[in-house]
């Protein structure tokens, strides 16, 4: 199933770090994303958010805020079989060109490509070499 004319938000480290302090800032950021028409993120991003939270002293506060304000209000796209196939093809193509990309970024890209989404990220340089991926930096 394709999800057309939509965008996918990649919550980056800077975005997460900016939100680590106050729950209200997470709600503001979610509203900002909704206003821009960003209804999706990936299961990979969710893992990164939990990991970032677990590395802070405010772990429980951050997780509670994301669960209350973000995860319930945004569609989380899984890394499934089709994503796995797209990931494998992307990784092989990049390896042939001696281009390195992190596993998690390639997985995020595979999900975006699979669903024909524009990837919104503050780390464009991490994705610029991935063929077939539409990326924009709105952050």
Looking at residue 6, its pLDDT comes to 46
**Going from the N-terminus, what domains does the chain have, and what CATH number goes with each?**
7-136 (3.40.50.1010)
Mean pLDDT of 51-57: 86
Numbers of helices and strands, H then E, in the chain: 6, 5
Looking at residue 29, its pLDDT comes to 62
Higher pLDDT among residues 2 and 6, named by residue: 6
Looking at residue 53, its pLDDT comes to 85
For the cut 80, the answer to whether the pLDDT of residue 24 exceeds it is no
Q: Which span out of 20-29, 85-94, 128-137 was modeled with the highest average pLDDT?
A: 85-94
Mean pLDDT of 61-82: 85
For the cut 50, the answer to whether the pLDDT of residue 4 exceeds it is no
Query: How does residue 21 score in pLDDT terms, banded at 50, 70 and 90?
Result: very low
10 closest CA partner among 125, 95, 87: 125
Instruction: Quote the crossing angle between the two packed helices 23-35 and 59-69, to the nearest 10°.
Output: 30
Largest CA distance in the chain: 46
Tell me what percent of the residues of the chain surpass a pLDDT of 90.
Answer: 35
Mean pLDDT of 103-110: 94
CA 84 – CA 132 distance, rounded (Å)? 16
């Amino acid at each position: 199933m394709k999800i057309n004319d939509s965008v996918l938000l990649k919550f980056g480290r800077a975005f997460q770090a900016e939100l680590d302090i106050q729950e209200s800032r997470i709600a503001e950021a979610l509203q900002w994303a909704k206003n821009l028409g960003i209804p999706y993120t990936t299961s990979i991003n969710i893992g990164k958010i939990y990991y970032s939270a677990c590395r802070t002293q405010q772990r429980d506060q951050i997780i509670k805020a994301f669960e209350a304000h973000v995860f319930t209000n945004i569609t989380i796209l899984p890394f499934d079989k089709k994503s796995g196939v797209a990931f494998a093809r992307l990784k092989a193509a990049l390896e042939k060109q001696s281009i390195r990309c992190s596993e998690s970024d390639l997985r995020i890209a595979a999900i975006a490509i699979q669903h024909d989404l524009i990837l919104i990220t503050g780390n464009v340089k991490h994705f610029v070499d991935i063929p077939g991926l539409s990326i924009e930096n709105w952050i």
